[in-house]
C-alpha cells in the first residue's frame, strides 16, 4: 500500500491540473504534462492498481473541471448544501469510473511495465476511446475533451482536419512522447513531438473555406434576466418589454437574435398578444428575429425547447439533444425527491429529424440550442450547406463558474472544425461572434444587459472534417493499434527466443 501512495498523490494532483488547460485558464501545455504524469503512474502497476489510479485522476480532473454542477444544483436548483454536494460528488465519481476502467483495460492489454510503444500508441488510442465513449454513453457527456483546450496552441491546426476529438489523440501522443524522452533519455521522441506541433502550427494558416456574399449585420440581445426569477409570472411582461425595447433600437440589423427561452410562455400563449405584432413589425422593418421559446404540441401533449424565426420568413427549430436531469428526468420517480428534479420546464421532449437548415437573412443557417453544440457530429449535420451557425444558450444556470467560458471555448472549436462563423446568444453571457478560425471577434460582458451588434461573414466550402467526418481519425487509430500489435508480437517472439 505505502509503495504506491506517492503514485496516488501524483494521479490526483495530475487530474486536478488538467482542467487548467481549458478556459478560463488556457494553460494548454498543462494537458500534456498532466497526461504524461498519469501515464507514468500506470507504468509498473497491475490492473487493479491502475484502476485505482485512474479513478483518483478522474476525481481531480472532473472534481475541478465540472465543479459548476454544484452551482446549478445548489444556487439555482434549490437543493441544500448537503444534497448539492452529494449529487455533485456522485456525478464526479461516476465519470471517474470511466478512467478507472481505462486504467484497468490498459494493464490487461499490457500487463508488464509499459513500453515506449504503449505510451505513444496504445495509451493515446485508449484515451480516444474513453473520450468517445463518454460522449456517447447515456446520451453522452463530451464536456472537457482534451483537444478542446488546445484551441490556442499549435495542435489546433489539426482541428479542421480531424476534429477536436482528433486533437485529443495528438495531445495524448504528445504526452507519451514526452514521457518516453524523459524516461529513456533519447532524442527521437523530442524530434517527433516537435514535428507534430510544427505541422499543426503550419496548418493554422490554412483557409479551408471561402467568404460568400456580403457580411450580415446581426444584433444579439443579452437580456441578463436572473435565472431565479426568469420563469416567475410577475417577471414575464418585464422580460418581454425588455427584449422588445432592445429589438426596436436595432431595426437596422438584418437579424436580431434572442437567447434560449427568452420568451417564458408557450408559443400559443404569446402568439396573439406578442409574437404576431412583433412579427408584423419585423417584416415592416425588413429584418428578422430569431428568438427562443417553448412550443407545445397540444395533440401529443409534448413541449419543445425551440427557436422561432419571425419577420420575412417564419420557421421553427426544436432542440433534439436534451440535458438529462435539466430538461428531462430519465427516471420520473426521481421528480418528487428533491426540488432540483422538479425545475421549471424539466419535461421537454426532443425535436425529431436531422439538423434542419433554416434560411435566415438570405443565408442557409444551422441552429443549435445550448448543450447541442457540445456534440460535434450533430453540428456537422448542417454542413456544408450552412454558411453561418447560431447557438442560443442559457448559461445563467452556472453563475460565475467555469461553465460559461468552457462552453464558449467549445463553440470556438465548433467554428474552427466547420470553417464557419458562430453567433452565440446567451441569457447573461458569454454572447459572442466567433470567426471561422475559432477566434473571438467580439463578445458581450458577462452578467450585464447588453446588445452586441456585429457583421458576420457567411462562408462556403468544406474543411476536411466536414468532408470526411471522423473516418480519418478512426483509420489513424486503427493503424496505430496495428503498429502497436506488431511491436508487441516482435517483443514477445524475442522474449521466447531468449
Q: Residues 145, 260, 288, 378: which is the catalytic one?
A: 260
pLDDT in tens, 139-189: 999 999 999 999 999 999 999 999 999 999 999 999 999 999 999 999 999
Q: In the annotation, is 199 catalytic?
A: no
Which one-letter DSSP state was computed for residue 307? E
Q: At CA 224, angle to CA 222 and CA 227, rounded to 5? A: 130
Judged against a pLDDT cut of 70, whether residue 227 lies above it is answered with yes
> Which DSSP helix (H) or strand (E) runs through 315?
strand 315-318
Q: Residues 131, 370, 378, 417: which is the catalytic one?
A: 370
Measured CA distances, 469 to 49, 159, 240, 356, 473 (Å): 37, 12, 41, 18, 8
Contact between residue 17 and residue 34 where contact means Cβ atoms under 8 Å apart: yes
Judged against a pLDDT cut of 60, whether residue 343 lies above it is answered with no
Q: In the annotation, is 370 catalytic?
A: yes
Q: Residues 319, 327, 417, 443: which is the catalytic one?
A: 319
Measured CA distances, 128 to 164, 173, 415, 474 (Å): 11, 10, 21, 9
> Which DSSP helix (H) or strand (E) runs through 334?
none
Q: What is the pLDDT of residue 223?
A: 95
Nine-digit cell string for 24:
478560463
Mean pLDDT for the stretch of residues 300-316: 91
**What DSSP assignment string belongs to 97-161?**
HHHHHHHHHHHHHS-SS--HHIIIIIHHHHHHHHHHHHTTGGG---TT-GGGGGTTSGGGGGHHH
Architecture of domain 211-462: 4-Layer Sandwich (3.60)
Which one-letter DSSP state was computed for residue 279? H
Residue 345 — pLDDT band, cuts 50, 70, 90? Answer: low
Give the C-alpha separation, 285 to 249, whole Å: 11
Identify any residues that bridge with 304 across adjacent strands, giving them in sequence order.
Answer: 295
Domain ranges of the chain: 2-207+468-497, 211-462
Give the C-alpha separation, 302 to 325, whole Å: 17
- Count the Cβ atoms, other than its own, within 10 Å of residue 29: 14
Instruction: Identify the residue whose cell numbers are 444544483.
Output: 73
Judged against a pLDDT cut of 80, whether residue 130 lies above it is answered with yes
Measured CA distances, 370 to 296, 483, 490 (Å): 19, 40, 50
Give the burial string for 170-207 (b: 16+ CB within 10 Å, else e).
Answer: bbbbbbbbbbbbebeeeeebeebbeebbeebeebbeee
Nine-digit cell string for 32:
500534456
Q: What is the pLDDT of residue 352?
A: 74
Give the C-alpha separation, 329 to 347, whole Å: 7
Dmax (CA) for the chain in angstroms is 87
Q: What is the pLDDT of residue 333?
A: 44
pLDDT in tens, 256-278: 999 999 999 999 999 999 999 99
Q: In the annotation, is 214 catalytic?
A: no
Residue 396 — pLDDT band, cuts 50, 70, 90? Answer: confident
The model's pTM: 0.94
Q: What is the mean pLDDT of the chain?
A: 93
Give the C-alpha separation, 31 to 17, whole Å: 8
Residues in the chain: 498
Amino acid at each position: 500500500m505505502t509503495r504506491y501512495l506517492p503514485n496516488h498523490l501524483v494521479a490526483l494532483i495530475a487530474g486536478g491540473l488538467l482542467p487548467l488547460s481549458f478556459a478560463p485558464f488556457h494553460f494548454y501545455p498543462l494537458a500534456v504534462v498532466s497526461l504524461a504524469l498519469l501515464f507514468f503512474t500506470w507504468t509498473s502497476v497491475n490492473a487493479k492498481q491502475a484502476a485505482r489510479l485512474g479513478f483518483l485522476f478522474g476525481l481531480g480532473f472532473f472534481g475541478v473541471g465540472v465543479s459548476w454542477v454544484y452551482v446549478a444544483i445548489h444556487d439555482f436548483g434549490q437543493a441544500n448544501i448537503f444534497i448539492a454536494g452529494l449529487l455533485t460528488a456522485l456525478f464526479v465519481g461516476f465519470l471517474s469510473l470511466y478512467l478507472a476502467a481505462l486504467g484497468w483495460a490498459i494493464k490487461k492489454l499490457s500487463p508488464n511495465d509499459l513500453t515506449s510503444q504503449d505510451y505513444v500508441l496504445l495509451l493515446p488510442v485508449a484515451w480516444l476511446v474513453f473520450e468517445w465513449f463518454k460522449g456517447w454513453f447515456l446520451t453522452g457527456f463530451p464536456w472537457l475533451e482534451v483537444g478542446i483546450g488546445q484551441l490556442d496552441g499549435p495542435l489546433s491546426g489539426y482541428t479542421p482536419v480531424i476534429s477536436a476529438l482528433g486533437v485529443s489523440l495528438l495531445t495524448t501522443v504528445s504526452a507519451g512522447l514526452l514521457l518516453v524522452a524523459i524516461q529513456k533519455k533519447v532524442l527521437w521522441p523530442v524530434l517527433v513531438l516537435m514535428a507534430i506541433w510544427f505541422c499543426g502550427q503550419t496548418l493554422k494558416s490554412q483557409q479551408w473555406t471561402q467568404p460568400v456574399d456580403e457580411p450580415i449585420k446581426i444584433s444579439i440581445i443579452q437580456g441578463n434576466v436572473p435565472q431565479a426569477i426568469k420563469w416567475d409570472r410577475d417577471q414575464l411582461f418585464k422580460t418581454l418589454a425588455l427584449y422588445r425595447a432592445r429589438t426596436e433600437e436595432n431595426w437596422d440589423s438584418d437579424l436580431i437574435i434572442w437567447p434560449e427561452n427568452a420568451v417564458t410562455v408557450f408559443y400559443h400563449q404569446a402568439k396573439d398578444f406578442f409574437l404576431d405584432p412583433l412579427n408584423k413589425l419585423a417584416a415592416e422593418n425588413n429584418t428578422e428575429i430569431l428568438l427562443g421559446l417553448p412550443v407545445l404540441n397540444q395533440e401529443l401533449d409534448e413541449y419543445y425547447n425551440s427557436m422561432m424565426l419571425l419577420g420575412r420568413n417564419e420557421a421553427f427549430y426544436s432542440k433534439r439533444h436534451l440535458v438529462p436531469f435539466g430538461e428531462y428526468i430519465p427516471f420520473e420517480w426521481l421528480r418528487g425527491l428533491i426540488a432540483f428534479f422538479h425545475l421549471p420546464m424539466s419535461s421537454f421532449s426532443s425535436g425529431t429529424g436531422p439538423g434542419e437548415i433554416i434560411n435566415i437573412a438570405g443565408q442557409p443557417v444551422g441552429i443549435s440550442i445550448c448543450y447541442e453544440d457540445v456534440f460535434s457530429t450533430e453540428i456537422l449535420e448542417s454542413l456544408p450547406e450552412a454558411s453561418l451557425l447560431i447557438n442560443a444558450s442559457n448559461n445563467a444556470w452556472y453563475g460565475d463558474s467555469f461553465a460559461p467560458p468552457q462552453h464558449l471555448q467549445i463553440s470556438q472549436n465548433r467554428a474552427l472544425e466547420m470553417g464557419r462563423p458562430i453567433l452565440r446568444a446567451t441569457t447573461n453571457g458569454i454572447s459572442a461572434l466567433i470567426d471561422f478560425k475559432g477566434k473571438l471577434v467580439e463578445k458581450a460582458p458577462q452578467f450585464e444587459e447588453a446588445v452586441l451588434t456585429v457583421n458576420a461573414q457567411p462562408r462556403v466550402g468544406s474543411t476536411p472534417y466536414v468532408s470526411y467526418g471522423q473516418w480519418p481519425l478512426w483509420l489513424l487509430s486503427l493503424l496505430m493499434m496495428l503498429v502497436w500489435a506488431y511491436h508487441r508480437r516482435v517483443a514477445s517472439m524475442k522474449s521466447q527466443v531468449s
